[in-house]
Amino acid sequence: MKTAAAPTLADIKAARERVHGLARETPVYSSETLGRRSGRPVFLKAENLQRTGSFKIRGAVNKLATMTDEERAAGVVTASAGNHGQAIALAAREAGVAATVFMPLDAPMAKMDATRSYGAEVLLSGEGFDEAQGAAHERAEAGATFIHAFEDEAVIAGQGTLGLELAEQLGDVQTLVVPIGGGGLASGIALALCELRPEIHLVGVQAASCAPFAGLEPIGITIADGIAVKQPGELTSGILADRLDGVVTVTDAEIADAIVLLLERVKLVVEGAGAASVAALLTGKVEGDGAACAILSGGNIDASMLVEVARHGLTRAGRFLVFRTRISDRPGALAALLTHIAERRVNVVSVDHHREGIDLPVTGTEVEVTVATRDEEHCAELLGFLAEWGYEAERLR
């Protein structure tokens, strides 16, 4: 088998010509809010606004463009957590090539539906990317042309076109923060920037529950499904070994906070993998105080997941308060409690009664109340008023 070699800068520049017209040159935005919260100037490379919702279209188009007629005629097959599959589906459709995409059983519905809408056959297999890839390899053995999501010179060269754009778009930036799954994006960017902007530090970020580049064993699932790759490639690992200036990890809770902040203050919808770079900056895990640019690698997040993430993030920020207290199980007792709360200009979201399985007086009941608040200070203020009103309240969230 032919040993894969790292693409050259010339390969990346050639890829830029091939992807032009299908992949967009995405903008770089500055963010005062993120800069203030991270203590340094922050810029955002908005690949969430890219065709198919992520950077993956760059590598997919370049790969399809460099295949032989025989390889295209056989059709292509790939494995994907979602974004690579969408990109292959669109690139294959534009090239007139049949495509089959294997995805994990729990892949986000938005990514599955989008991949099908671009014309690919979608098959579900396994719990994660690695298992889906095994199924894709089996299909390729029957004659289809397999396209790896990251362990491929043409794919890496395509992702490297993002690095060419950054070299032109970024001014005086000290650090670039890149989400890393299999390493294709980081490899392509590193190959370009090490040649064109060697002064920029390159820091990778992975989800804490799946961080092989950080030397950690996988410990569970993550909302950053796009970078949940247990086994990075040999080619990408070799490229990044002496080009990365560091790798940091972020928790799902930190990623959720970043998603909510990007949505509410920056007005950008970003998926978990794409928000990981911002989470690393917000938590101070990226060294330095100079300007930093975070790659928002994708924006394909299910609406249901976005609701869950928003609820979790808002609760952590003190925007929701959940408490329980006991009241008399008599007419008017609950109304009195809710009236007190309303007088403090607090909106009640939900109320649940608990009577069974609890040691309560015969005429008592426990209520669990969820209210919308402004921030942590407002939560503390309301809990203080509850005590003044004679309610023993226990905060749950």
Q: How confident is the model at residue 120 (pLDDT cuts 50, 70, 90)?
A: very high
Sign of CA dihedral 99, 301, 269, 38: negative
Among 129, 183, 122, 176, CA closest to 155 = 183
pLDDT at residue 128 is higher than 50: yes
Q: How confident is the model at residue 3 (pLDDT cuts 50, 70, 90)?
A: low
State yes or no: is 56 an active-site residue. Answer: yes
State yes or no: is 297 an active-site residue. Answer: yes
Q: How far is CA 131 from each of CA 79, 123, 165, 227, rounded to the nearest angstrom?
A: 9, 12, 34, 15
Q: How confident is the model at residue 362 (pLDDT cuts 50, 70, 90)?
A: confident
267 Ramachandran zone, left/alpha/beta (phi>0; psi -120 to 50): left
Report the pLDDT value the prediction gives residue 264, as an integer from 0 to 100. Answer: 92
Average of per-residue pLDDT across 359-383: 89
- Cβ neighbors of 333 (< 8 A, separation 6 or more) are 327
Report the pLDDT value the prediction gives residue 355, as an integer from 0 to 100. Answer: 76
- Cβ neighbors of 2 (< 8 A, separation 6 or more) are none
Tens digit of each residue's pLDDT (9 = 90 or more) over 280-307: 999 999 999 999 999 999 999 988 899 9
Report the amino acid identity of residue 230. Answer: K
Q: Please give, one letter per residue, the 3-state secondary structure of the chain.
A: CCCCCCCCHHHHHHHHHHHECCECCCCEEECHHHHHHHCCCEEEEEHHHCHHHECHHHHHHHHHHHCCHHHHHCCEEEECCCHHHHHHHHHHHHHCCCEEEEECCCCCHHHHHHHHHCCCEEEECCCCHHHHHHHHHHHHCCCCEECCCCCCHHHHHHHHHHHHHHHHHCCCCCEEEEECCCCHHHHHHHHHHHHHCCCCEEEEEEECCCCHHHCCCCCCCCCCHHHCCCCCCHHHHHHHHCCCCEEEEECHHHHHHHHHHHHHHHCCCCCHHHHHHHHHHHCCCCCCCCCEEEEECECCCCHHHHHHHHHHHHHHCCCEEEEEEEEECCCCHHHHHHHHHHHCCCEEEEEEEECCCCCCCCCEEEEEEEEECCCHHHHHHHHHHHHHCCCCCEECC
Delineate the domains of the chain, giving CATH numbers in brackets: 9-54+153-313 (3.40.50.1100), 57-146 (3.40.50.1100), 318-395 (3.30.70.260)
Q: How confident is the model at residue 352 (pLDDT cuts 50, 70, 90)?
A: very high
Report the pLDDT value the prediction gives residue 293, as an integer from 0 to 100. Answer: 98
pLDDT at residue 5 is higher than 60: yes
The share of the chain scoring above pLDDT 70, in percent, equals: 99
pLDDT at residue 1 is higher than 50: no
Report the pLDDT value the prediction gives residue 317, as an integer from 0 to 100. Answer: 83
Least trusted range by pLDDT, from 128-132, 239-243, 266-270 = 128-132
Which among 38, 45, 56, 209 is annotated as catalytic? 56
Tokens found for residue 38 = 């991270």
Report the pLDDT value the prediction gives residue 220, as an integer from 0 to 100. Answer: 85
Tens digit of each residue's pLDDT (9 = 90 or more) over 70-93: 999 999 999 888 899 999 999 999
pLDDT at residue 57 is higher than 80: yes
Q: How confident is the model at residue 313 (pLDDT cuts 50, 70, 90)?
A: confident
Report the pLDDT value the prediction gives residue 261, as an integer from 0 to 100. Answer: 95
- Cβ neighbors of 360 (< 8 A, separation 6 or more) are 326, 366
Average of per-residue pLDDT across 54-71: 96
Average of per-residue pLDDT across 196-200: 97
The more confident residue out of 107 and 282 is 282
- Return mean pLDDT, the chain: 93
The share of the chain scoring above pLDDT 90, in percent, equals: 77
Q: Please give, one letter per residue, the 3-state secondary structure of 115-135.
A: HHHCCCEEEECCCCHHHHHHH
Q: How confident is the model at residue 340 (pLDDT cuts 50, 70, 90)?
A: very high
